[in-house]
Amino acid sequence: MLTLRVRIASGLLLVRALICTPTATAEPIPRADLIIRTYNLVGLPSRQLHAARRTAQSIFEKAGVTIAGWRDCQGGDRSSTAAADDCQDRVRPNEVAVRIVRTPPNWPNPWVLGFSHVAPHAGTSWLSTVFADQIGETASRFHLDPGTLLGRTVAHEVGHLLLASTRHPDEGLMRANWQTISLRRHVRTDWLFSRSEASQMRADLVARSRALAESIG
Ligand SMILES: [Zn+2]
């Protein structure tokens, strides 16, 4: 889960030294392809969706993870959309799905940007949800590009799936709270996976690819 910690009084914020090392691509764990299904259930304009995908793709590339494809899925009323929906098949081991929705009524934490269903076994988590309205409002408030913020949120939540963990480190993309100061400054390492996270994700993808090959062959 990802929450936004907004404190307008910047004097209350502590700027901590970043210890999150930018990721390298020269790790021995080979690349493996990941496919992300996107359920745009709020009708986001394609320009914003493409910006989000470019952002997420860039973040994963720096972690040595290749997003081999994005699938546009309809969701919702299957009876009326089945003909146009490219996602009627079962989710494969090398796929994950991201639902883009509005924050549900009575949602307990108004600052949550998204959450993921993380299964206890590696390689089996596949569903994340992000809240388009909260992301849009946050982007507007801090004069950020909404597609970029959406892409960072998607990368964070898919990170939970590939890491098979709900854990949050103190620094980097997988930190729990994106504080006001980090949204306003432009520090590259705030929006990257750590080296160890990148390695874990690639290992997860290798296992998923193996499972995919077994399911096909
Ligand atoms: Zn999280």
Structural tokens at position 43: 């009708």
Which residues, 6 or more positions from 208, have their beta carbon under 8 angstroms from its beta carbon?
Answer: 32, 34, 93, 94, 123
Distance 216 CA to ligand 1 centre (A): 32
Other C-beta atoms closer than 10 Å to the C-beta of 54 total 13
Distance 122 CA to ligand 1 centre (A): 17
pLDDT value at residue 24? 45
Structural domain of 153: 28-216
Which residues, 6 or more positions from 178, have their beta carbon under 8 angstroms from its beta carbon?
Answer: 2, 3, 4, 5, 113
Distance 161 CA to ligand 1 centre (A): 10
Distance 145 CA to ligand 1 centre (A): 21
Phi, psi of 3 (to 5 degrees): -120, 160
Does residue 123 fall inside a structural domain? yes
Structure confidence by residue, pLDDT tens digits, 128-183: 999 999 999 999 999 999 999 999 999 999 999 999 999 999 999 999 999 888 88
pTM of the model: 0.83
Rounded-to-5 percentages of helix, strand, coil across the chain: 40, 20, 45
Distance 83 CA to ligand 1 centre (A): 35
Distance 167 CA to ligand 1 centre (A): 7
State whether residue 8 is helix, strand or coil: coil
Distance 87 CA to ligand 1 centre (A): 26
Does residue 5 fall inside a structural domain? no
Does residue 109 fall inside a structural domain? yes
pLDDT value at residue 30? 65
- Comparing CA positions, the residue from 90, 95, 87, 55 lying closest to residue 191 is 55
Q: Which stretches in the chain have pLDDT values below 50? A: 6-27, 80-81
Does residue 45 fall inside a structural domain? yes
We report the CATH number of the domain holding residue 102 as 3.40.390.10
Place of tokens 């394609």: 46
pLDDT value at residue 10? 25
pLDDT value at residue 12? 25
pLDDT value at residue 74? 84
pLDDT value at residue 65? 94
pLDDT value at residue 44? 95
Does residue 22 fall inside a structural domain? no
Distance 125 CA to ligand 1 centre (A): 14
Task: Assess contact for 162 and 156: CB atoms under 8 A.
Answer: no
Domain count, the chain: 1
pLDDT value at residue 79? 52
Does residue 208 fall inside a structural domain? yes
Distance 142 CA to ligand 1 centre (A): 21
pLDDT value at residue 32? 66
Distance 82 CA to ligand 1 centre (A): 32
pLDDT value at residue 149? 97
Spatial distance between the Cα atoms of 147 and 132, rounded to a whole number of angstroms? 10
- Per DSSP, the residues of 147-204 read HHHHHHHHHHHHHHHHHT-----SSSTT-SEEEHHHHHS--GGGGS--HHHHHHHHHH
pLDDT value at residue 126? 94
Distance 79 CA to ligand 1 centre (A): 34
Does residue 78 fall inside a structural domain? yes
Does residue 112 fall inside a structural domain? yes
Distance 84 CA to ligand 1 centre (A): 32
